[in-house]
Amino acid sequence: MPPSLTSFTDDARIAFDTLTDRASGLVNPTLRLGVTGLSRAGKTVFISSLVHNLLNGGRLPLFEPVRSGRVSSIRLEPQPDDAIPRFQYEDHIQALVRERIWPDSTRAISELRITLDYQSASGWNRMFSPGRLSIDIVDYPGEWLLDLPLLAQDYKTFSDNAVTLAQSGVRAELAREWLGLAASIDMEGPADEMTARRLSESFATYLKACKSDERSLSTLPPGRFLLPGELDGSPALTFAPMPNVPDARPDKGSLRAMMERRFEAYKSVVVKPFFREHFARLDRQIVLIDALQAVNRGAEAVQDLERALADVLACFRPGTNSFLSSLLGRRIDRVLVAATKADHLHHESHDRLQAITRRLVDRAIHRIGMTGAGIDVMALASVRATREATVREDGQLVPVITGTPMQGERIGDEIFDGNKKTAIFPGDLPESPEAFFRDIDGSDEKTALPDLNIIRFRPPSVDETGGGIALSVPHIRLDRAMQFLFGDRLA
């Protein structure tokens, strides 16, 4: 993280927290894994499935420590941080397995500790390592991550960026009411609480419209305008960007002065504590994205996802920890960007979904001028809600996926009740990901988007015994994600 984002006091506190964590880690080696995602990417489902498969002997052939039999026991342990809510794994897995409903999405930070006892593959390591690793899984909303770039911005920069973005593409219509209201108000006039409230509410309405399923846009700071929590109605959330903010300092008591003060309060009260107390303590990170939804919405949603990924990856700047840097200031050394819901496609398109994700990440990396060291991508399904099959149509075999569509989902004229299983042909992604980026690059050639048939499915039925759940939750490539994120720490 660039040093301009934090003060000397922040850096000192981060260094102290890191030293404390490292001292504790000498007795109980610990890895802090951050899990976040952009809108509706499935963070809660990912964590629940990862923990469930570890605890219940799931099929994990690409997770070497389990495949080789070196892991002797796996268990949940008490939440290590008393001030952070526990990730309610038991409630979420019951919703998935017994009720077959998707658990509620992440709205605040939470944490869960899972500990693995293992035998090192190295005889030398077995002499000095306790053969135990605790993984502290830190779950937080992706909207909070997208707030971190605000730390390097003043109110004018924030306003200019927000207004320019709001005037582009489909956002221009969604932002019409807010931009019209903002243009009609004299920001140099006296500060007025009701005016500030009307502006902030109108701006929040615009952000929510951008996030809706119909638009599926991803770049939506400030994040707490979408997830206000306990700050709902507070002055720190009662502000909005304004058009044409002048460079000169505002007059005392003016509306612009109020807006600037509250923007700075938002950074101090909301963004800095998250960065200092949580983000700066992470060792590894997975960022889940719904690339399939963006592809289905067209070039503008893909471009917005790329913009959001650039902002996200600029926060990480992953790299290898030296001994000194790991003591004084952590550096996230591995980041995984995972496109979820691979089970909504036939396996023939999985590599193509991964190629689209790789292209998005590579473009984002190039845009912010960093290297791709320590960053990997993959397509996965944390919980596999479908199976693959073939049907004969017009004398030809057609690859399909089968599952139970959620209540209210529609295919043609049929609306599903949440109980009936069906088989659908989801469509094929093109072999080359470049087809999705021609419009973004300003080419005159308009891309014909693939005709995808993407609907939401209920979680799968998982067999149980009288003593509880007998089988692990099915997945796609969850074991490969585990191997990248922490397999090396169990070597």
Confidence class for position 323, pLDDT limits 50, 70, 90 = very low
Cβ(438)–Cβ(449) below 8 Å:
no
Query: Which stretch of DSSP H or E encloses residue 185?
Result: none
- Identify the CATH assignment for 3-140+278-384+476-490 out of 3.40.50.300, 3.90.950.20, 1.10.3720.10, 3.40.50.150: 3.40.50.300
CA-closest candidate to residue 276, choices 34, 5, 10: 10
Choose between 124 and 452: higher pLDDT.
Answer: 452
Cβ(425)–Cβ(453) below 8 Å:
yes
Pick the range with the lowest mean pLDDT from 181-195, 213-227, 477-491. Answer: 213-227
Choose between 483 and 20: higher pLDDT.
Answer: 483
pLDDT of residue 1 exceeding 50, the answer is no
pLDDT of 291: 92
Query: Tokens 């850096």 label which residue?
Result: 11
pLDDT of residue 74 exceeding 90, the answer is yes
* Mean local confidence (pLDDT), 233-257: 96
pLDDT of 330: 58
Quick one: tokens of 235? 């002055």
Question: What pTM did the predictor assign?
Answer: 0.88
Contacts 24+ apart (CB under 8 A), 224-227: 224/143, 224/144, 224/147, 224/266, 224/270, 225/200, 226/143, 227/107, 227/108, 227/141, 227/143, 227/144
CA-closest candidate to residue 38, choices 304, 277, 331: 304
Distances (CA, A) of 341 to 240, 338, 428: 35, 10, 15
pLDDT of 412: 83
pLDDT of residue 340 exceeding 90, the answer is yes
Work out the mean pLDDT of the chain and round it to a whole number: 87
In the chain, where are the structural domains located? 3-140+278-384+476-490, 151-272, 387-468
Confidence class for position 227, pLDDT limits 50, 70, 90 = confident
Distances (CA, A) of 488 to 18, 69, 122, 264: 21, 15, 12, 41
pLDDT of residue 194 exceeding 90, the answer is yes
Pick the range with the lowest mean pLDDT from 31-40, 107-116, 351-360. Answer: 31-40
